[in-house]
Amino acid sequence: MTTIGIIGAGEVGSQIARAAIANSYEIVIANSRGPETLNGLIDELGRRARAASAADAAAAGDFVIIAVPLSRVNDMPAAELAGKIVLDTNNYMSWRDGHFVRVDSGETTVHELRQEQLPASKVAKAFTHIQAPSLLSTSRPAGDPARRALSVSSDFPEAVELVTRLYDQFGFDTVDNSPLSESWRSAPGQPAWIDHARQNREELALNLRRAVPVFPT
């Protein structure tokens, strides 16, 4: 049985947890306020789910998903995440997250920043351009003409392979937008982001190519 550690139990973390349980994973999930505040979610998810601290969720996961806004970029349990594939769902929104000068200048991307923060982990940008409730409501079997595609970016092929398998299990196709230095192409405001609700694989690949760098002021 594969265990997914999930750090962040808000809109995205809780929906990924529901999708993971529906696909026979075990999950260990954390928020910032402590496991006891997640009793309602754990009751809903059932016996294959438990709540923990962020460090315990990181340690328990065969791989780990960070579903925490970027403003907490320095706050993740790096030691427990070492050696693991880490999927990061964050979208950089300066009105919410504050300004990251190196990202704003185009020197780096937010997910390269996360990779810097977690040097012993294999970071992948994943699940960033789908509204959380759509993870369950728009899932489709392979080959369905209405099946949506999601992008993944990573510097590690094994992380791309894992995300591709996970997307497929969850009911989505994949477009590989690696390496992490290209991950800005699916950022908020880009065509792949704006059209997120209705892209198949070909449309998403085209939208990723149409992206133009934007530097927030």
Ligand X SMILES: NC(=O)c1ccc[n+]([C@@H]2O[C@H](COP(=O)([O-])OP(=O)(O)OC[C@H]3O[C@@H](n4cnc5c(N)ncnc54)[C@H](OP(=O)(O)O)[C@@H]3O)[C@@H](O)[C@H]2O)c1
Give the interface with ligand X as residue ranges (CB under 6 A): 7-13, 30-33, 54, 67-70, 72, 75, 89-91, 127-128, 131-132
Of 31 and 164, nearer to ligand X (C-beta) is: 31
> In the bound complex, what is the minimum distance in angstroms from residue 159's beta carbon to ligand X?
18
> In the bound complex, what is the minimum distance in angstroms from residue 213's beta carbon to ligand X?
20
The DSSP result for 99-165, as a single string, is --HHHHTTSS-HHHHHHHHSTTSEEEE-S-SS-TTHHHHT---TT-TT--EEEEEES-HHHHHHHHH
Of 11 and 195, nearer to ligand X (C-beta) is: 11
Of 1 and 22, nearer to ligand X (C-beta) is: 22
Q: Is the dihedral of CA 148, 97, 125, 208 positive or negative?
A: positive
| Six token digits for residue 90 | 């964050």
> In the bound complex, what is the minimum distance in angstroms from residue 123's beta carbon to ligand X?
14
> In the bound complex, what is the minimum distance in angstroms from residue 197's beta carbon to ligand X?
11
C-alpha closest to that of 66 among 107, 29, 99: 29
Encoded amino acid at 63, one letter: F
Nearest residue to ligand X on Cβ basis: 10
Of 66 and 162, nearer to ligand X (C-beta) is: 66
| Six token digits for residue 89 | 């769902």
